[in-house]
Amino acid sequence: MSCLEYFEREKNIVEVIKSIGGSLGDNMHLADELPTAPSARGYTTQQYDTAWGTIMNKKIAYGILLGQIVILQIVQSNSQVGLPL
């Protein structure tokens, strides 16, 4: 599987999750991505949207990297036991 094929597969998984109303984001990291000092009226919708977008991008990037590591481990394991790549 090429890198482009892998990326397209991951992108498709994310789109399926979104299409059924799911999300990869979580509230646990929201405070890390919001500005440190909210205005007197609190955070704006744009600030929340930007923070959620950043969280989503980080989660997707982490998933892609983690998937690549797993694929490399499988390839190394198969090559050590003599299986075809």
Give the per-residue pLDDT at 70.
67
Q: Domain total for the chain? A: 1
Compute how many other C-beta atoms are within 10 angstroms of the C-beta atom of residue 78: 12
In a domain, 27, yes or no: yes
CA distances from 63 to 36, 51, 53, 75, 83 (A): 27, 18, 15, 18, 26
In a domain, 42, yes or no: yes
Residue ranges making up the domain that contains 57: 3-80
In a domain, 8, yes or no: yes
Per-residue pLDDT of the chain (85 residues; tens, 9 = 90+): 677 777 777 777 777 777 777 666 667 777 888 888 778 888 889 998 898 888 888 877 777 777 766 666 666 666 665 555 5
In a domain, 85, yes or no: no
- pTM to 2 decimal places: 0.56
